[in-house]
Structure 1
Amino acid sequence: MSVHYQRHGEVGVISIANPPVNALSQAVRSGLLSALKEGLADQQAKALVVMAEGRTFIAGADIREFGKPPQAPLLPDVITQLEACPKPLIASLHGTALGGGLEVALGCHYRIALAGTRVGLPEVKLGLLPGAGGTQRLPRLVGVEKALEIITSGRFVEAAEAQDIGIIDAISDAQTPLEAGLAAAKEILAGQQKARITGQLPAPKANPQAIAAMHEQLETSAPALFSPFRIVEAIDACTKAASLEEGLRRERELFLACMDSPQRAGLIHLFFAARNPHVVPGVDNAEPFAQIALIGENPLFETFHTAAQRANITLTDTPNDSTELCLLAPGEDASACPSQAVTVALQLLTGNASASPLSLVLAERGPFHELVNHSASATDQQRVALTLKALRANVVVTQSQSVLSTLCNATEQTPANDTQSAMEQASLTLAQQGTCYREGDIDLLAVEALGYPRHLGGPHRQATLPSHLSIHKKTPSKDTHS
């Protein structure tokens, strides 16, 4: 069972167990309603706690349901029933409470968090807005200006700040969410703390200055994006709606408009592209290397030293008989590497192609470098990729030639106003040549390392869209934002 109910004294506990991140799958949503019903029927339970097992509270939607028709019960309906609970309902948070996870907590009557908890509504990063009350309940707790900033940025809020601004009620020094939740419930039952229903709080006062300022900021920083402007509309509606229900209806309309936006499809495509780009197809049971020689100097090597001990990896500046992997800084000679070691040459984005079996093309921006396999075995490439990941370096694995260098060269040979088209044409050639294991890897590298517009989903996706769906070079006019 994804959700189960158990009573501890006078407190009923609704516990979510859907590893690894307790995502809000259909089973969890229906399980919450079943457990709530059980808790309401339990006459000995005077208060209820919602918590999650494992390393985190609910970290958001279930990605396995992305792109599929929604299944009842829908999250807004679940939260409406949680909020209507006649018994005090406490959310006990730990790890992260993100997206729908935070919206569930906002529907509870009191929020306690373990130290180190982070909360947030990051839906904007997927071209969406919080669609289960986040734009209506969060402003009631923190006001219009702070809600605008948190939701349009999608940032994570640390526990101390969340308490300061009113998202959570208290931070617990308990060791587990169960202990924290039970203690908070007992304080509420004893009258030492006060539970309150978020949706029954008065809507915040209209703040036209904050709305106008955010509009102006978005017009400057992200004029082509769709969902941030819808977020502003939803929060503005919170201040003007005659009731919570009316505000929730407007939020739902705007959420569905975001769902239909081509930008959402592009951002979801990138989201999936960023999952496991270091995996070489067909290689199983590969392990990272444990003995590594770093030849020469490079800023990346400094970060490796910080991560090596935790990863149980030994780094040296001089190769020896036990060296398994040699990493060569740009310009260094491979002759120093022993024959038994796998050799990887670090290569600057604009540098000459490496003669090594493997090269690590260094991105000048963004979190991903590119590990290109020129002549090594697939197993060696996978082992190197796992080693770099253990050393806190994110890589995208490719073969034959560098995707990054090819895209970069294409843009350098075209006028500045035509770089997107150049990347799109180059991406088609790269895909035909089979340089990437997944075509989404081209898009991931182009967006993260070369600045291709994120909301378009990447040059290869854009180049292969049916022409009637293409939004290339189309920037929404200002009247579409309001």
Structure 2
Amino acid sequence: MSVHYQRHGNIGVIQIANPPVNALSHAVRSGLVSALDEGIADTDANALVVLAEGRTFIAGADIREFGKPPQAPLLPDVITQLEACPKPLIAALHGTALGGGLEVALGCHYRVALPGTRIGLPEVKLGLLPGAGGTQRLPRLVGVERALEMITSGRFVEAEEALDAGIIDAISNTQTPLEAGLAAAKEILAGNQTPRITGKLPAPAANPRAIASMREYLEQHSSELFSPFRIIEAIEACVTSDTLKEGLRRERELFLACMDSPQRAGLIHLFFAARSPHVVPGIENASAFNNVALMGEHPLFERLKKAAQRAGITLTSEPSTATELCLLAPYTPANVNVGCPVVALKEVGTDNDSDTPLRLVIAANDSLVELTKLSAEPLTQQRAALTLKALRLNVVVSQQQSMLEIMHAAIGQTTSGETRPALEQASAHIAQKGFCYRESDIDLLAVEVLGYPRHLGGPHRQATLTHSPLETATQEVSS
């Protein structure tokens, strides 16, 4: 079962178990309703606690359900039932409480968190807004200005800030969510703490200045985006609606408008693209190298050194008999007798092409690096990619030629106004030649490294939409 109920003394515990991140799948939503009903019916339970197993509270929606027809119970309805619980309902948070996970917590009557917990409503990053009460309940706790900033940025908030802002009620010094939840419930039952039903709190004071300021900021910095402006409208509805129910209805309308937006599709495409760009297809059970030599000097090496101890990887400045992989800084002579795979670093746009089996292409914006297989075996590339990922680099794998180099060269041959079509044309060439393992990897690199507009989803996706078979056929018929 994804959710189960059990009682500890006079406190009922609703426990979610949906690894790895306790996402709000249909089974979890249904399980929450069933466990809540069981807890309410349990006459020996005077208070209820909601918590989650594993390393985190609820980290958001279940991505496996993206694009599928929604199944009842919908999350807004689940949260409405949680909020209506006649017994004190405590959310015990740990790890992260994000998106729908935070909305579940906001529907509870008291929130206690373990140290290190982070919360947030990051839906804007997927072209959406919180659609299960986040835009209506959060402002009731923190006011219009802070709610606008948190939801339009989608940033994560540390537990201490959440406590100061009034989003959570306490930070516990216990070791587990169960201990934290039970302790909080006992304090409430003893009258030492007071639960609050968020939806029954008064709407926040109107703050037209904050709303105007945020709208002006977005028009200057993100005018092309759709969902941030809908977030403003939803928070305005929180202030102006006569009831919570009316505000929730308006939030839902705006959420569905975001769902229908092409931007949402493009941003979710990138979300999926970022999940496993380091994976070489067909290679299973590969492991990272444990002993790596960093030959020469480069700023990237300093980052690797900081991450090495936590990753359990030994880094040396010279290869030895124990060395399993060498990273070669640009313009550093290669030692042909190292006896292990060598990865040569290459800064995009430079001419230092070392004759090595693998090449690591990096840019000034090193949010992503590209590991290109020139002559190495696929297994070697995968092990090298896993090594770099363990060293805290976000890696995209490719073959034969660097995708970054091709797209960077395409940009260099155009004027600024033609950058987008140049990248779209280059992406088609990359896909046709088979330099990518996944076409979504082209989009990921173009957006994260080369500045292609994120909300469009990437040049290959855009080129595919623009030149879809249906559109081509329509053009042929009309002509």
Q: Same fold (TM over 0.5)?
A: yes
The corresponding residue for 1:414 is: 414
The corresponding residue for 1:81 is: 81
One-letter identity of the residue aligned with 2:348? L
Say if 1:469 and 1:65 are closer, same or farther in 2 by CA, change over 3 A. Answer: farther
Unaligned runs of 5+ residues in structure 1 are 471-482
Matches of 1:134 and 1:122, distance apart in 2: 11
Could you tell me whether the CA contact under 8 Å between 1:7 and 1:13 is conserved in 2? yes
The corresponding residue for 2:348 is: 349
| Structure 1 residue ranges (4+ consecutive) displaced by more than 6 angstroms after TM superposition | none
Matches of 2:115 and 2:308, distance apart in 1: 27
Could you tell me whether the CA contact under 8 Å between 1:227 and 1:258 is conserved in 2? yes
Superposed CA offset, 1:372-395 (max 9, x none): 001110011001001111111111
1:463-474, aligned counterparts within 5 Å?
463-466=463-466
Tell me the CA shift for residue 316 of structure 1. Answer: 1.1
Tell me the CA shift for residue 339 of structure 1. Answer: 4.6
1:50-449, aligned counterparts within 5 Å?
50-334=50-334, 336-352=335-351, 353-449=353-449
One-letter identity of the residue aligned with 1:131? G
Root-mean-square deviation (CA, aligned residues, Å) is 1.2
Unaligned runs of 5+ residues in structure 2 are 471-479
Say if 1:83 and 1:282 are closer, same or farther in 2 by CA, change over 3 A. Answer: same
Superposed CA offset, 1:428-448 (max 9, x none): 000000000000000000000
SS, match of residue 85 in structure 2: coil
The corresponding residue for 1:39 is: 39
Matches of 2:469 and 2:259, distance apart in 1: 15
SS, match of residue 113 in structure 2: strand
Range with greater deviation from structure 2 (140-149 or 386-395)? 386-395
Matches of 2:296 and 2:467, distance apart in 1: 49
Tell me the CA shift for residue 355 of structure 1. Answer: 2.0
- Aligned residues between the structures: 469
Could you tell me whether the CA contact under 8 Å between 1:321 and 1:338 is conserved in 2? no
Matches of 1:465 and 1:370, distance apart in 2: 26
SS, match of residue 330 in structure 1: coil
The corresponding residue for 1:477 is: none
SS, match of residue 397 in structure 1: strand
Tell me the CA shift for residue 338 of structure 1. Answer: 2.8
Could you tell me whether the CA contact under 8 Å between 2:279 and 2:382 is conserved in 1? yes
Could you tell me whether the CA contact under 8 Å between 1:373 and 1:399 is conserved in 2? yes
The corresponding residue for 1:479 is: none
Tell me the CA shift for residue 322 of structure 1. Answer: 2.1
Matches of 2:124 and 2:366, distance apart in 1: 19
One-letter identity of the residue aligned with 2:186? K
Matches of 1:469 and 1:58, distance apart in 2: 40
Could you tell me whether the CA contact under 8 Å between 1:320 and 1:338 is conserved in 2? no
Say if 1:411 and 1:466 are closer, same or farther in 2 by CA, change over 3 A. Answer: closer
Matches of 1:443 and 1:399, distance apart in 2: 16
Tell me the CA shift for residue 323 of structure 1. Answer: 1.6
Could you tell me whether the CA contact under 8 Å between 2:319 and 2:338 is conserved in 1? no
Matches of 1:469 and 1:260, distance apart in 2: 22
Matches of 2:452 and 2:287, distance apart in 1: 34
**Percent of paired sites with the same residue:** 72
Say if 1:32 and 1:469 are closer, same or farther in 2 by CA, change over 3 A. Answer: farther
SS, match of residue 309 in structure 1: helix
Tell me the CA shift for residue 404 of structure 1. Answer: 0.4
Matches of 2:123 and 2:315, distance apart in 1: 40
Say if 1:306 and 1:366 are closer, same or farther in 2 by CA, change over 3 A. Answer: closer
Matches of 1:248 and 1:199, distance apart in 2: 10
SS, match of residue 212 in structure 1: helix
Superposed CA offset, 1:275-295 (max 9, x none): 110000011111111121111
Matches of 2:158 and 2:92, distance apart in 1: 15
Tell me the CA shift for residue 469 of structure 1. Answer: 12
Could you tell me whether the CA contact under 8 Å between 1:326 and 1:337 is conserved in 2? no
Superposed CA offset, 1:7-44 (max 9, x none): 01110000000000000000000000000000011000
Range with greater deviation from structure 2 (318-327 or 438-447)? 318-327
One-letter identity of the residue aligned with 1:461? R
Matches of 2:78 and 2:400, distance apart in 1: 51
One-letter identity of the residue aligned with 2:440? G
Tell me the CA shift for residue 254 of structure 1. Answer: 0.1
